[in-house]
Amino acid sequence: MFGRLTAFLDSIRARDPAPRSRWEILTYPGVWALGFHRAAHWLYEAELFFAARLINHFARFLTAIDIHPGAKIGRNLFIDHGFTVIGETAQIGDNVTIYQCVTLGGTNPANGVGGKRHPTIGSHVIIGSGAQVIGPINVGDRARIGANAVVTDDVPEGATMIGLKARSTLVPVSEYLRDFVPYGTPCNEPCEPDMTRVEALEQQLTEMRAEIAALRESKGPTSISAHPRKGKAR
C-alpha cells in the first residue's frame, strides 16, 4: 500500500513542477478528494449508499471537489486545484490529469431511467481547466481536451479537442513526442488544419496597403497651413 501511495505521489510530481516534496503533494485537495472517494466507492459497491454519500459530502466540503461515490476511477488520477464535478456513472482510466473547474457531467435519459449518463475517459487523458465533458461519450486514450471546451461527442484516441462545441484540431498527440502536455492545450501548434483562409486575409491586407501607398503618392505631400497661430491676448 505504501508503495502504491509513493507511486501515486511521484506520478503527480512528474506532472506538476510546483511541489518540492511528496509531503507537499499530500496537502493537495485533489489527493484528499481521491482518498475519500476510494472509501466512499467501497461503501457504494457494498450498497451502503447513505454512508457513501456522507463521505462524499464531507469530502466536497473539505476539498471543493465533488466525486460521486459511484464513479469508477483508475490509478494515478491527478485533479489539480479542484472545483471539479465527476458524475455517478463516469469512468476514468489510468494517469488522467484534470485541471480546475472541469465537469464530467451527465445527460437526462429520454426514458427517465437512470443508466450510463456520464463520460468514459481513457488513460493518459488531459482535460484543461473549465472544460465540460457531457453525456455517455468515450474519450480515447491520450486525448487532450482544451481549456473551456465543451465536448458532447466521442473523442478519437490521441485527438486534441478545442472550442465550444469542441472540434478536433487534427493535430495528433504523437507529433509532440512528449510524455505529458500541461493543461491539455498545444501552445506552438496550429489549431486549424486549413490555413488557406489566413493566407487569403494576409494577401488582401498586403494589397490594401499597396493601394493606400499609391493613393498617398498620387496626392503628393500634404499642404501645411501658412497661417500662424494667434497668440493669447495679454
For residue 111, give its domain range. 2-184
> Does 64 map to a domain?
yes
> Does 198 map to a domain?
no
> Does 193 map to a domain?
no
> Does 78 map to a domain?
yes
C-alpha cell at 2: 505504501
> Does 231 map to a domain?
no
> Does 173 map to a domain?
yes
- What is the phi-psi region of residue 101: left when phi exceeds 0, alpha when psi lies from -120 to 50, beta otherwise? left
Could you report the per-residue pLDDT of 23-70, keeping only the tens digit for each?
Answer: 999 999 999 999 999 999 999 999 999 999 999 999 999 999 999 999
What pLDDT was estimated at residue 186? 52
Could you report the per-residue pLDDT of 82-104, keeping only the tens digit for each?
Answer: 899 999 999 999 999 999 999 99
> Does 120 map to a domain?
yes
Please report, for the domain that includes residue 108, its CATH number: 2.160.10.10
> Does 42 map to a domain?
yes
Q: For the chain, how many structural domains are there in total?
A: 1
What pLDDT was estimated at residue 234? 47
Phi/psi at 161 (5° precision): -105, 135
